[in-house]
C-alpha cells in the first residue's frame, strides 16, 4: 500500500473514498458535510464511533480528545474499516493541533497508524481475504487550515515507511510457526538481510557454543534443531556511537525438563520476539543510513526435552567463566542472554540494549501491553522511557534494589538461574543478567522485558492478533535521539 501527498484541498483530491476525523463532536468543520443530520442517524461523534455516508463514500471517525497515540490507533482502526469495502484508494487531510510543533508528530502518527494497521499475517490460510486497498492520498492541508510543505511530508513518509516495514518484518518472523522457524531459519533470514543491506554477518554453530558459551549451549542440547549464534553488524565510516542490540531468540520453548503446562506452551513460537526485534532494528537503521554502528546479536535455539536435556541441579559455565546453578530449566532465556551479553561487551559498544520475552512475572506486574525497562542507571532509563513514549510504545521503569540480589545466591555455584522466592521475578531475572555486565557497562546497559506486548491473542492499539513487533519502534527512537545528542 502506497501513501502519497498532493498539494490540493481535500475535496479536490482524486480517490474512491474519503476519511474524515471528527474532533470533539465538531460537526461544523469544513470537511464535514453540513447537509447530513448526524444526530437523527444516531451518530454523536463519541470516541471511536463511525458513520459511513454511502452516497458520497465518506467515512466519519470520531476522536473525543486530541492525543497523538489515539490518532495513531484511530488511523489503524479506520483503515480496517476502509479495507472492508472494495475501494482501491481513499483520501484524508492531516489532523494537526493548533500548536505548530505537533503537526509533524501528527503526520508521523497518521502514516504509522495506517501502515501498521494494514498488516495481516495469513501465510497459513488456504483462503485469504482479498485486500483491494492500494493507495492513501493525503491533502497537505490540515484540520486547522495550515499548509504542510511537501518536502517535509515526504521526508516523514519515507522514514515512517522504513520503520513500519521493519516492525512488520519482525511481526512476520515472530508469527512464523516453530516447525518452520528453527534456529537455522533465523540464521538464513539474517544472511539474506545482510546480503540485501550489505551488513556484516557472522553465524556460529553448536561447536562454537560448546567451546565458548556453556550456558547457551546447555539450553540447546536436547533439540534436533541445532542452535545458531547470529551477529549482524552495520558499520558506517565514522559512526557517532556504537550500540549492541542483544535479542533472545528461543524459536520454541517447551520449558525443558521443567516442562510447561500444555496451555502455557501455546504461543511459545513468540519466545523469539527479542531476537526478531534485533533483526528488525538493524534493518531499519541500515535503510535509514543513520550514522551509528549497530551490532545485532541473537541467540537462536530451542528449549526442548530429550536424553541430552540440561537438568535442574546442573552447574553451567558462562562465557565469562561465571558458574550458574540450574534449578529450573524453564528459566532458559537468561542463560542464552548472559552469554550473548558477554560477547556484546567484547565489542566495546557505547550502549547495550537487550530485548527478551523473559518473564511471566513482568506480564503479571504490567499487563499485556507494556514493556518493563530495567537497568542500573536511572538517568539512562529515564532517557529511554522518553523515547519510548515518543515512539508510541508503552514502557515503564522497574526498580532494582540490594535486597533482591540476595535471592539469586547459590550454595553450589556463583549464581542461581532462578530466585529463591516467587515474588519480583522480572526484577530478579534482570538482576541475574546484570551479574554478567562488567562494571564499566553497568550504566550503559538496558534490559527490556517484552513478555507482555510481544504477542497478544487479540487486536489492540495498532497491533493485530499475534506479534506486535514490540521494541522495534522504541529502540529506533532511542538511537535517533542518541545521535541528536552527540
Say if CB 473 and CB 391 are below 8 A apart: yes
Burial class (CB in 10 A: 0-12, 13-18, 19+), 486: exposed
Q: Does the annotation mark 228 as catalytic?
A: no
Say if CB 173 and CB 249 are below 8 A apart: no
Question: What does the alpha-carbon distance between residue 119 and residue 468 come to, in Å, rounded to a whole number?
Answer: 10
Question: What does the alpha-carbon distance between residue 472 and residue 463 come to, in Å, rounded to a whole number?
Answer: 13
Question: What does the alpha-carbon distance between residue 449 and residue 354 come to, in Å, rounded to a whole number?
Answer: 8
CA dihedral 316, 317, 323, 327 (to 10 degrees): -20
Question: What does the alpha-carbon distance between residue 279 and residue 275 come to, in Å, rounded to a whole number?
Answer: 7
Q: List the catalytic residue out of 235, 241, 260, 327.
A: 260
Question: What does the alpha-carbon distance between residue 233 and residue 220 come to, in Å, rounded to a whole number?
Answer: 24
Place of cell 511530508: 153
Question: What does the alpha-carbon distance between residue 167 and residue 237 come to, in Å, rounded to a whole number?
Answer: 26
Say if CB 59 and CB 18 are below 8 A apart: yes
Burial class (CB in 10 A: 0-12, 13-18, 19+), 400: middle
User: Which ranges constitute the DSSP H helices of 178-328?
Assistant: 183-197, 206-212, 214-220, 262-265, 273-288
Question: What does the alpha-carbon distance between residue 5 and residue 155 come to, in Å, rounded to a whole number?
Answer: 11
Q: Does the annotation mark 334 as catalytic?
A: yes
Nearest to 202 by CA among 354, 343, 335: 343
Nearest to 474 by CA among 381, 367, 376: 381
Q: List the catalytic residue out of 6, 283, 319, 334.
A: 334
- Strand partners for 395: 371
The grid cell for 403 is: 535486597
Which residues are catalytically annotated?
260, 334
Amino acid at each position: 500500500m502506497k501513501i502519497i501527498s498532493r498539494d490540493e484541498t481535500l475535496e479536490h483530491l482524486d480517490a474512491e473514498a474519503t476519511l474524515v476525523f471528527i474532533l470533539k463532536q465538531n460537526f461544523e468543520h469544513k470537511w464535514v458535510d453540513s447537509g447530513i443530520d448526524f444526530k437523527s442517524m444516531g451518530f454523536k461523534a463519541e470516541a471511536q464511533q463511525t458513520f459511513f455516508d454511502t452516497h458520497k463514500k465518506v467515512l466519519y471517525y470520531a476522536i473525543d480528545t486530541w492525543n497523538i497515540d489515539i490518532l495513531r490507533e484511530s488511523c489503524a482502526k479506520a483503515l480496517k474499516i476502509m479495507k472492508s469495502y472494495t475501494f482501491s484508494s481513499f483520501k484524508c487531510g492531516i489532523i494537526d493541533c493548533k500548536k505548530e510543533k505537533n503537526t509533524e508528530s501528527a503526520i508521523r502518527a497518521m502514516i504509522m497508524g495506517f501502515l501498521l494497521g494494514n498488516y495481516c499475517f495469513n501465510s497459513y490460510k488456504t483462503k485469504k481475504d482479498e485486500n483491494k486497498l492500494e493507495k492513501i492520498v493525503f491533502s497537505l492541508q490540515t484540520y486547522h487550515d495550515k499548509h504542510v510543505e511537501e518536502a517535509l511530508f515526504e521526508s516523514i513518509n519515507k522514514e515512517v515507511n522504513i520503520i513500519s516495514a521493519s516492525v512488520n518484518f519482525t511481526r512476520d518472523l515472530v508469527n512464523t510457526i516453530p516447525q518452520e522457524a528453527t534456529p537455522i531459519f533465523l540464521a538464513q533470514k539474517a544472511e539474506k538481510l545482510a546480503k540485501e543491506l550489505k551488513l556484516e554477518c557472522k553465524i556460529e554453530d553448536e561447536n562454537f557454543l560448546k567451546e565458548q558459551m556453556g550456558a547457551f549451549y546447555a539450553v540447546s542440547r536436547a533439540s534436533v534443531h541445532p542452535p545458531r549464534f547470529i551477529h549482524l553488524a552495520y558499520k558506517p565510516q565514522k559512526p557517532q556511537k556504537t550500540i549492541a542490540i542483544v535479542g533472545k531468540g528461543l524459536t520454541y520453548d517447551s520449558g525443558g525438563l521443567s516442562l510447561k503446562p500444555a496451555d502455557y506452551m501455546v504461543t511459545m513460537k513468540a519466545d523469539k520476539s527479542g531476537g526478531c526485534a534485533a533483526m528488525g532494528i538493524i534493518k531499519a537503521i541500515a535503510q535509514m543510513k543513520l550514522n551509528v554502528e549497530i551490532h545485532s546479536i541473537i541467540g537462536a535455539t530451542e528449549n526442548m526435552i530429550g536424553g541430552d536435556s540440561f537438568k535442574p541441579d546442573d552447574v553451567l559455565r558462562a562465557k565469562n567463566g561465571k558458574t550458574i546453578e540450574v534449578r529450573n530449566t524453564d528459566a532458559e532465556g537468561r542463560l542464552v542472554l548472559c552469554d550473548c551479553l558477554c560477547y556484546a561487551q567484547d565489542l566495546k559498544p557505547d550502549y547495550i540494549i537487550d530485548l527478551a520475552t523473559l518473564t511471566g512475572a513482568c506480564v503479571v506486574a504490567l499487563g499485556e501491553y507494556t514493556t518493563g525497562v530495567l537497568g542500573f542507571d536511572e538517568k539512562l532509563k529515564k532517557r529511554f522511557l522518553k523515547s519510548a513514549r515518543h515512539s508510541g510504545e508503552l514502557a515503564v521503569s522497574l526498580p532494582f534494589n540490594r535486597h533482591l540480589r540476595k535471592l539469586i545466591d547459590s550454595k553450589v555455584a556463583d549464581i542461581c538461574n532462578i530466585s529463591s522466592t516467587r515474588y519480583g521475578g522480572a526484577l530478579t531475572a534482570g538482576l541475574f543478567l546484570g551479574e554478567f555486565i562488567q562494571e564499566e557497562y553497568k550504566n550503559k546497559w538496558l534490559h527490556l522485558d517484552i513478555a507482555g506486548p510481544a504477542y497478544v491473542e487479540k487486536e489492540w492499539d495498532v497491533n493485530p492478533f499475534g506479534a506486535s513487533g514490540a521494541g522495534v519502534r522504541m529502540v529506533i527512537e532511542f538511537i535517533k535521539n542518541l545521535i541528536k545528542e552527540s
